[in-house]
C-alpha cells in the first residue's frame, strides 16, 4: 500500500548495507552483544507510536569484523572442539602462557585499545594437571599444541613447551614488519589447545600507490628504467658484481602471504655474487650507500652497501678515486617504500629509493636498538 518514507537517522558513515522492512522481516546488524531483550507487543492491539535512540562514533574495537586474511589454522580441530576468536584485537601488551615440558595448556592475551587494557578469556585448560590417558586415547582426530614461540620487531620469546617432542608437525606464520597482525583464533578440545591461527589485515593495491617520497636517484637516468615502488618488505637482496661494477640487483619481497622474486635489474654478467639475507620480518633497511663512476661514456654503479636496524652488508664492489658517492638514510623506522632505477648493458646505471611518510603506527614501531648521533650517523648500542 502507499506509504510515507521518513528520512532515517544517520551517523557519519556514508557507505553501508541498505535494508527495508516494508512488509517483511530479517535480522539487521552483526552478531554479538552482551545483553539480549525480546520486546513483546500486545499484538494486534499494541502498535508503535515513536522510536528514539542515539548514535556514537565507531571505535577501533568495533571494527573487529573488518576484512582480514585468515591464516591457518595450524593443528586439527577435534570433533567437539570449542572455537575461540580474537579477531581485530591487534594491539598486544602481554601474552600469558601455561605449559609444561611437552604441552601448551592455555593462553591469556592482554590487549590494548583506546579505553585501556583488556584481558581476554583464557583459551585452554583451567588445570595443567591433565591425565595422560586423554593423550593416549587420541586416534588422530585431534591434536595438541606442544610448543609455541613468538617473534617481534625487538626480539623473540620462547619456545614454550617442547618443539622437539616426537610426532610433531611444525608451523610458522610470517606476519611481516608492517603492523599487519589482526588477532588470534583457534580451538580447544578436552581442555587442550588443538589449533591456532592468526588474522592479517588485507593489503591492497593502495599500498603500492600510497603517497611516498622519492629519494634520488643517484647516477644518471638514460637507459632502461625499472621500479619496485610499494614493495616495502624485503627478505633478501641478490648482488652480482666485480671489483668496480655492480652488474645487477634482484630482490626477494614478501607480499600477500608469500615470497615474491623481482626481475633482475642489470646484466647477466656475474664475476662475484652475494645473497644478502635479512632476519625477516624483524630486520628492515635503514640506509643504503654506494658510488657511481663514468666509463666509456656511461654511468655505472661501482659499489653498494646496505644498512639495517641489526647490522650492515657490503660494500659490494669498490669505489674508484673519481667515483661520486651517495648515501640514503631512512632512519630507525620501517619507512622504506621500495627501489627504483635504470640499467644499461654494463650494469646498474642509476639507483633510488621510496620512503613512506612517518605515521603514528610507524613511530610506535621504532627500533630503540639504533640510536642517532648528533651529526646524523647511526650506530648500534
Could you give all domains of the chain from N- to C-terminal order, each with its CATH number? 60-201 (2.100.10.30), 206-380 (2.100.10.30)
Residue 373 is predicted with a pLDDT of: 36
Residue 261 is predicted with a pLDDT of: 94
Phi then psi dihedrals of residue 353, to 5 deg:
-135, 160
Per the CB < 8 A criterion, the answer to whether 74 and 195 are in contact is yes
| Confidence tier at 235 by pLDDT (50, 70, 90) | very high
Mean per-residue pLDDT, 260-283: 92
Cα 21 from Cα 41, distance rounded (Å) = 18
Q: What percent of the chain has pLDDT over 70?
A: 66
Per the CB < 8 A criterion, the answer to whether 145 and 194 are in contact is yes
Does the pLDDT of residue 227 top 90, yes or no? yes
pLDDT tens digits for range 52-101: 676 655 444 444 445 677 888 888 877 777 888 877 776 777 888 888 88
Radius of gyration of the CA atoms of the chain, in A: 28
* Cell, residue 342: 635504470
| Confidence tier at 289 by pLDDT (50, 70, 90) | very high
From edge to edge, which strands make up the β-sheet containing 82-85? 68-75, 192-201, 181-189, 82-85
| Confidence tier at 152 by pLDDT (50, 70, 90) | confident
Q: What percent of the chain has pLDDT over 90?
A: 25
Mean per-residue pLDDT, 305-320: 92
Mean per-residue pLDDT, 295-320: 92
Does the pLDDT of residue 45 top 70, yes or no? yes
| Confidence tier at 136 by pLDDT (50, 70, 90) | very low
57 torsion bin: left (phi>0), alpha (psi -120 to 50), beta (else)? beta
pLDDT tens digits for range 353-377: 998 876 554 544 454 444 433 333 3
The 3-state secondary structure of the chain, one letter per residue: CCCCCCCCCCCCCCCCCCCCCCCCCCCCCCCCCCCCCCCCCCCCCCCCCCCCCCCCCCCHHHHHHCCEEEEEEEECCCCCCEEEECCCCCCEEEEEEEECCCCEEEEEEEEEECCEEEECCCEECCCCCCCHHHHHCCCCCCCCCCEEEEECCCCEEEEEECCCCCCCCCCCCCCCCCCCEEEEEEEEECCEEEEEEEEEECCCCHHHHCCCEEEEEEECCCCEEEEEECCCCEEEEEEEECCCCEEEEEEEEEECCEEEECCCEECCCCCEEEEEECCCCCCCEEEEEEEEEEECCEEEEEEEEEEECCCEEEEEECCCCCCEEEEEECCCCCCEEEEEEEECCCCEEEEEEEECCCCHHHHHCCCCCEEECCCCCEEEC
Residue 321 is predicted with a pLDDT of: 83
For the entire predicted model, the pTM comes to 0.49
Query: Which one is predicted more confidently, 178 or 247?
Result: 247
Contacts of 72 (CB under 8 A, 6+ apart): 171, 173, 195, 196, 197, 198
Query: Which one is predicted more confidently, 291 or 22?
Result: 291
Residue 155 is predicted with a pLDDT of: 76
| Per-range mean pLDDT, top range of 116-130, 145-159, 181-195, 300-314 | 300-314
**Hey, which residues does 240 pair with through a beta bridge?**
248, 273
| Per-range mean pLDDT, top range of 148-152, 164-168, 202-206 | 148-152
Q: For the chain, what is the mean pLDDT?
A: 75
**Of the given ranges (129-143, 161-175, 234-248), which has the lowest mean pLDDT?**
129-143
Cα 85 from Cα 64, distance rounded (Å) = 10
Per the CB < 8 A criterion, the answer to whether 304 and 282 are in contact is no
Give the CA dihedral 277, 281, 282, 285, nearest 10 degrees. 60
Cα 152 from Cα 86, distance rounded (Å) = 19
Per the CB < 8 A criterion, the answer to whether 199 and 71 are in contact is yes
**Of the given ranges (34-43, 88-97, 185-194, 329-338), which has the lowest mean pLDDT?**
34-43
Nearest to 158 by CA among 147, 142, 172: 147
Per the CB < 8 A criterion, the answer to whether 312 and 380 are in contact is no
Query: Which one is predicted more confidently, 174 or 239?
Result: 239
Nearest to 302 by CA among 327, 271, 324, 277: 324
**Hey, which residues does 129 pair with through a beta bridge?**
none
Residue 357 is predicted with a pLDDT of: 73
Nearest to 244 by CA among 289, 290, 288: 290
Residue 121 is predicted with a pLDDT of: 72
Residue 139 is predicted with a pLDDT of: 39
| Confidence tier at 38 by pLDDT (50, 70, 90) | low
* Cell, residue 75: 593443528
Query: Which one is predicted more confidently, 308 or 211?
Result: 308
Amino acid at each position: 500500500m502507499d506509504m510515507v518514507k521518513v528520512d532515517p537517522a544517520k551517523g557519519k558513515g556514508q557507505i553501508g548495507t541498505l535494508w527495508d522492512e516494508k512488509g517483511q522481516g530479517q535480522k539487521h546488524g552483526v552478531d554479538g552483544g552482551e545483553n539480549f531483550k525480546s520486546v513483546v507487543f500486545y499484538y494486534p492491539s499494541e502498535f508503535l507510536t515513536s522510536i528514539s535512540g542515539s548514535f556514537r562514533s565507531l571505535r577501533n574495537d568495533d571494527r573487529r569484523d573488518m576484512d582480514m586474511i585468515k591464516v591457518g589454522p595450524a593443528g586439527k580441530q577435534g570433533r567437539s572442539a570449542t572455537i575461540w576468536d580474537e579477531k581485530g584485537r591487534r594491539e598486544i601488551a602481554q601474552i600469558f602462557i601455561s605449559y609444561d615440558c611437552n604441552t601448551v595448556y592455555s593462553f591469556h592475551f592482554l590487549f590494548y585499545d583506546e579505553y585501556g587494557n583488556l584481558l581476554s578469556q583464557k583459551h585452554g585448560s583451567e588445570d595443567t594437571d591433565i591425565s595422560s590417558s586423554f593423550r593416549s586415547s587420541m586416534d588422530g582426530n585431534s591434536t595438541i599444541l606442544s610448543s609455541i614461540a613468538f617473534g617481534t620487531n625487538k626480539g623473540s620469546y620462547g619456545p614454550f613447551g617442547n618443539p622437539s617432542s616426537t610426532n610433531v608437525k611444525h608451523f610458522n606464520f610470517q606476519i611481516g614488519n608492517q603492523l599487519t597482525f589482526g588477532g588470534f583464533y583457534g580451538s580447544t578440545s578436552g581442555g587442550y589447545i588443538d589449533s591456532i591461527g592468526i588474522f592479517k589485515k588485507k593489503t591492497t593495491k593502495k599500498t603500492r600507490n600510497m603517497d611516498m617520497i622519492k629519494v634520488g636517484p643517484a647516477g644518471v637516468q638514460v637507459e632502461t628504467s625499472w621500479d619496485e615502488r610499494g614493495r616495502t618488505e624485503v627478505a633478501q637482496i641478490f648482488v652480482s658484481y666485480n671489483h668496480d661494477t655492480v652488474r645487477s640487483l634482484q630482490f626477494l619481497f614478501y607480499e600477500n602471504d608469500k615470497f615474491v622474486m623481482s626481475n633482475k635489474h642489470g646484466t647477466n654478467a656475474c664475476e662475484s655474487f652475494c645473497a644478502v639475507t635479512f632476519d625477516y620480518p624483524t630486520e628492515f633497511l635503514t640506509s643504503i650507500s654506494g658510488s657511481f663512476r663514468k666509463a666509456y661514456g656511461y654511468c655505472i654503479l661501482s659499489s653498494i652497501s646496505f644498512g639495517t636496524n641489526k647490522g650492515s652488508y657490503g660494500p659490494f664492489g669498490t669505489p674508484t678515486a673519481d667515483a661520486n658517492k651517495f648515501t640514503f638514510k631512512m632512519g630507525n623506522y620501517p619507512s622504506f617504500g621500495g627501489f627504483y632505477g635504470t640499467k644499461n648493458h654494463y650494469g646498474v646505471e642509476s639507483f633510488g629509493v621510496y620512503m613512506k611518510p612517518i605515521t603514528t603506527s610507524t613511530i610506535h614501531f621504532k627500533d630503540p636498538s639504533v640510536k642517532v648521533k648528533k651529526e646524523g650517523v647511526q650506530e648500534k648500542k
